[in-house]
């Protein structure tokens, strides 16, 4: 009996490995749709046609390098930030050099803590102007002003995300429904922070019993900073002032690095657990 159980477990393991691993994962139709959606966001905001919107694919499309047998994704997750805005931790000096994606004039917001962990305010403090001689930036203080986040009334929201139906884009790309598992696109506006926030300092120094993530992965994550997305704490969303000015720290970039550092077998287990959790949630909601 024990031998039969072991043989059955081995067969199931082989089935999942053969079904989920694929060298073509980055080229399947889901990824084509996600890439096209990113290109669609690489345009300009309505208030300034010289400012770029810089997208980043996040969520399962970016995190998993296996090819799931049955998708648990359902949508495309894209974050995007303006090329003329930047966030810095409170009390730190504004940067003198920026990545090439940024404009010659950049507004800098300080990240101020709120009474709710992970939720912050953004206060405009500096204006950076690029020097033509060395490519560096000069900082000038400007009147303090809180960043306000008021979503358009005609948009469907899920947390900080704007939800877009992808059926029309799928038709334009001539992608068959059977070959595409993605139905909607969640786009999240954010303000990029190139520094690791002080609120998360303990994460990089905490004791890790099993040595994961290793120091190289931790250093890579910390050096990549974080983002700030516009959504208020659930207790503050109806508040006249806080509901429009509260933001949340986002570590989606860190999650991508962490999950991509796993072995394929670990990603398969993670994927299976996500599918199980989603199915359980649907059963609970039905009942």
Question: Tens digits of per-residue pLDDT, 207-255?
Answer: 888 888 999 999 999 999 999 999 899 999 889 999 899 999 999 999 8
Task: Tell me the average pLDDT across 6-17.
Answer: 56
Task: Tell me the average pLDDT across 175-204.
Answer: 77
Total count of domains within the chain:
1
Question: Which residue did the predictor score with more confidence, 253 or 49?
Answer: 253
For residue 59, what is the enclosing H or E element? helix 59-63
> What values do phi and psi take at 40, rounded to 5?
-65, -25
Structural domain boundaries enclosing 34: 2-286
Tell me the percentage of the chain whose pLDDT exceeds 70: 62
The answer, yes or no, to whether residue 287 has pLDDT greater than 70, is no
Count how many Cα atoms sit within 13 Å of the Cα of residue 19 in the half-sphere of its side chain: 14
Split at pLDDT 50, 70, 90, the class of 183 is: low
pLDDT of residue 32: 46
Question: Which residue did the predictor score with more confidence, 279 or 26?
Answer: 279
Rg (CA), the chain: 22
Contact 248, 119 (CB under 8 A): yes
The answer, yes or no, to whether residue 116 has pLDDT greater than 80, is yes
pLDDT of residue 111: 96
The answer, yes or no, to whether residue 102 has pLDDT greater than 50, is yes
Q: Is 232 helix (H, G, I), strand (E, B) or coil?
A: coil
Question: Which residue did the predictor score with more confidence, 83 or 29?
Answer: 83
Which residue in the block uniquely carries the two structure tokens 């490519």? 135
Q: What is the phi-psi region of residue 7: left when phi exceeds 0, alpha when psi lies from -120 to 50, beta otherwise? A: alpha
pLDDT of residue 39: 47
The answer, yes or no, to whether residue 178 has pLDDT greater than 90, is no
Task: Count each helix (H run) and each strand (E run) in the chain, helices first.
Answer: 9, 11
The answer, yes or no, to whether residue 12 has pLDDT greater than 70, is no
> What values do phi and psi take at 197, rounded to 5?
-70, 150
How high is the mean pLDDT of the chain? 76
Distance, C-alpha 181 to centroid of its chain: 20
> What values do phi and psi take at 107, rounded to 5?
-85, 135
């Amino acid at each position: 009996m024990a031998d039969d159980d072991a043989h059955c477990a081995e067969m199931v393991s082989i089935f999942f490995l053969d079904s989920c691993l694929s060298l073509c994962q980055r080229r399947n139709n889901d990824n084509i749709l996600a890439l096209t959606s990113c290109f669609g966001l690489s345009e300009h905001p309505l208030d300034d046609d010289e400012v770029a919107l810089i997208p980043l694919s996040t969520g399962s499309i970016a995190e998993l390098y296996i090819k799931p047998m049955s998708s648990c994704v359902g949508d495309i997750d894209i974050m995007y930030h303006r090329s003329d805005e930047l966030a810095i931790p409170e009390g730190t000096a504004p940067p003198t050099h920026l990545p090439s994606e940024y404009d010659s004039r950049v507004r800098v917001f300080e990240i101020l803590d709120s009474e709710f962990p992970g939720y912050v305010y953004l206060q405009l403090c500096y204006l950076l102007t690029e020097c033509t001689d060395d490519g560096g930036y000069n900082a000038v203080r400007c009147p303090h002003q809180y960043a306000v986040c008021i979503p358009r009334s005609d948009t469907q929201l899920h947390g900080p995300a704007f939800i877009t139906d992808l059926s029309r884009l799928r038709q334009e790309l001539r992608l068959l429904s059977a070959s595409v598992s993605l139905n909607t696109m969640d786009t999240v506006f954010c303000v990029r922070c190139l520094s690791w926030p002080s609120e998360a300092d303990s994460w990089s120094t905490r004791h890790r019993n099993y040595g994961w993530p290793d120091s190289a992965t931790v250093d890579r994550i910390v050096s990549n900073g974080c983002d700030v997305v516009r959504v208020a704490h659930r207790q503050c969303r109806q508040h006249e002032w806080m509901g429009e000015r509260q933001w949340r720290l986002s570590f989606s970039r860190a999650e991508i690095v962490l999950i991509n550092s796993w072995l394929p077998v670990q990603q398969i287990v993670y994927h299976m657990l996500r599918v199980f959790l989603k199915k359980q949630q649907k059963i609970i909601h039905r009942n």
